[in-house]
């Protein structure tokens, strides 16, 4: 199974995401933002970083990169896509996920190990977990506050599209403690915390993040 990792100018967690994919048992495939070639991958990860220096708005320029046009088309056909941190911002800017990520409410960059609760265990990227399961994954963001209009928040809650929620303290002021959301079909997930930094005991606070990457293998096989 081949999972593409998109690199934008300013990406800094693409190598970490590729390692997580490899540890999960898949083949990571390097994808360049300026190409129009997904290289036949089965799924795509948009990694963390500061694409285009986060000028204009975080993720706004990257969302209009040539390769993102192909990602949007394939995602709407059911290809699994995971956006991590800056990748989550890109997915919102590209219209694949609702809401937006804004400056942290306390106006500081936050970097810490964070407890999370899995709210949806039936998406393409969370099926390795149980509903209500708590995990520990690092967060590191300055513009990680998830916001949406009140009616949109009610719709997300009503449709069960909050995939992951912060517990034990909200690191950035995200409305309703939302750490990640999913598309209507559960194939696209955006996540502000960094599961790729919690895949090995040697380097992370846990190996809890690996489940995001093993989940998609099952999703692709069963599609």
Residues carrying an active site annotation: 85, 194, 196
* Signed CA dihedral, 136, 208, 138, 145: sign only: negative
List, in order, residues 6 or more apart from 213 with CB less than 8 Å away: 3, 20, 21, 23, 24, 26, 195, 196, 199
List, in order, residues 6 or more apart from 149 with CB less than 8 Å away: none
From first CA to last CA, the distance across the chain in angstroms is 13
Q: How far apart are CA 34 and CA 8, in angstroms?
A: 8
Eight-state DSSP code of residue 193:
S
Residue 7 in contact with residue 31, Cβ under 8 Å?
yes
User: Tokens 């955006």, residue?
Assistant: 190
Q: How far apart are CA 33 and CA 115, in angstroms?
A: 32
Q: Which two tokens stand for residue 53?
A: 């220096």
Catalogue the E-assigned strands of the chain. 2-7, 27-32, 43-46, 81-84, 100-102, 110-118, 134-141, 145-147, 162-166, 178-182, 188-191
């Amino acid at each position: 199974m081949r999972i593409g990792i998109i690199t934008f100018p300013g990406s800094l967690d693409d190598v970490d995401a590729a390692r997580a994919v490899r540890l999960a048992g898949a083949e990571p495939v390097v994808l360049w933002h300026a190409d129009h070639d997904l290289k036949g991958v089965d799924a795509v990860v948009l990694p963390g970083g500061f694409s285009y220096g986060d000028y204009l708005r975080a993720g706004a320029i990257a969302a209009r990169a040539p390769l993102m046009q192909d990602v949007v088309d394939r995602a709407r056909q059911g290809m699994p896509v995971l956006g991590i941190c800056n990748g989550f911002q890109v997915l919102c800017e590209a219209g694949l996920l609702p809401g937006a990520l804004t400056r942290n409410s306390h106006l500081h960059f936050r970097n810490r190990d964070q407890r999370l609760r899995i709210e949806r265990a039936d998406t393409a990227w969370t099926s390795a977990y149980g509903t209500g399961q708590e995990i520990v994954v690092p967060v590191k963001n300055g513009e990680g506050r998830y916001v949406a209009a009140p009616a949109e928040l009610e719709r997300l809650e009503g449709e069960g599209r909050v995939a992951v929620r912060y517990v034990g303290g909200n690191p950035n002021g995200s409305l309703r403690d939302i750490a990640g959301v999913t598309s209507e079909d559960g194939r696209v997930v955006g996540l502000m915390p960094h599961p790729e930094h919690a895949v090995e005991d040697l380097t992370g606070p846990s190996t809890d993040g690996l489940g995001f990457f093993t989940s998609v293998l099952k999703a692709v096989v069963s599609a």
